[in-house]
Amino acid sequence: MVLNVKQTTVAYRCPECGSGVLSPVGVFSLSGDMVKLKCSCKNSDMSIVHRKDNNTVRLTVPCIFCSKPHTFTVNTSLFFSKELFVLPCPYSDINIGFVGEENAVKSELARTELELLDMLEESGIQDFKGMRGDDDVITDSQIVDIVTFVVRDLDAEGKIFCTCHPNGREPLPDGVEQREDCTYDVEFTNDGIKVTCTECGDSALIPTDSLLTAHAFLNSEKLVLGKNN
């Protein structure tokens, strides 16, 4: 009898050395508390946790743009069945995590490497470490200026969306009127710029720890605020 053991390939790009880190992950390896995928430079790792109570997989992925990793939750069946799905940085829209069939994951890693190298060249940054600033510090006034400009521009064009004004999000329930006169507080923190709707409390945090992240945000067509951000 041959068992059809569920297995997929998981990868991320190390924010310290820029290497692609790749490993197979099987359903049996996820039966433990946690699986860690660690870069050979020993300066970053990606954690994978199987939540048996709701049959999901939680991935904590280092980000080549942001000073802190991002957490994603996917259904276990999706985790093992898709040929390829990617996990993007929510602020730069660049893929930082990859799950799927081995060759598909390797191809996407190679594609994003070329994309990142082009961004490095355009920004005049020498290596992957230069994409991020020091932890917990707003490092460059130019970054803050870029993000602030984009926030104000999106607000002027009516492209900041929240529960009050949910264009592009779930429609409001019947009988609930949509507000279009929201005002937004802009707060400067050690982690970035936090934009909060003064009416519903929805918010979003835009990191200011990377010039590349700021430039990526410069091309944003909208800013969607959410709860508990």
pLDDT band at residue 199 under the 50/70/90 scheme: confident
Supply the DSSP string of 156-179, one letter for each residue.
HTT-EE-SSS-TTSPPPPTTPPPP
- Averaged pLDDT, 102-121: 81
Rounded distance between C-alpha atoms, residue 53 and residue 122, angstroms = 46
Comparing 173 with 57, the larger pLDDT belongs to 57
pLDDT band at residue 59 under the 50/70/90 scheme: very high
pLDDT of residue 227: 72
Buried b vs exposed e over 162-186: b needs ≥16 C-beta within 10 Å?
A: bbbbbeeeeeeeeeeeeeeebebee
Torsion of CA 23, 28, 34, 36, to 10 degrees: -10
pLDDT band at residue 182 under the 50/70/90 scheme: confident
CB distance 186 to 198 below 8 Å: no
pLDDT of residue 3: 40
pLDDT of 2 strictly over 50: no
pLDDT of 185 strictly over 50: yes
pLDDT of 195 strictly over 70: yes
**Sequence-separated (6 or more) residues with CB below 8 Å from residue 7:** 24, 25, 26, 27, 80
Backbone Cα Rg of the chain: 20
pLDDT of residue 168: 43
pLDDT of residue 100: 92
pLDDT band at residue 127 under the 50/70/90 scheme: low
Rounded distance between C-alpha atoms, residue 123 and residue 135, angstroms = 20
Strands 223-224, 160-161: pairing kind = parallel
CB distance 7 to 30 below 8 Å: no
pLDDT of residue 165: 61
pLDDT band at residue 135 under the 50/70/90 scheme: very low
CB distance 61 to 43 below 8 Å: no
pLDDT of 163 strictly over 60: yes
Element spanning 224, H or E: strand 223-224
- List, for residues 33-48, the tens digit of each pLDDT value: 688 899 988 899 999 9
Per residue, what are the HEC states of 126-150?
CCHHHHCCCCCCCCCHHHHHHHHHH
pLDDT of residue 133: 46
pLDDT band at residue 32 under the 50/70/90 scheme: low
% of the chain exceeding 90 in pLDDT: 12
Q: Tell me, what amino acid is at 209? A: D
% of the chain exceeding 70 in pLDDT: 69
Of the spans 93-97, 149-153, 188-192, which averages the highest pLDDT?
93-97
- Averaged pLDDT, 204-228: 73
Rounded distance between C-alpha atoms, residue 107 and residue 8, angstroms = 15
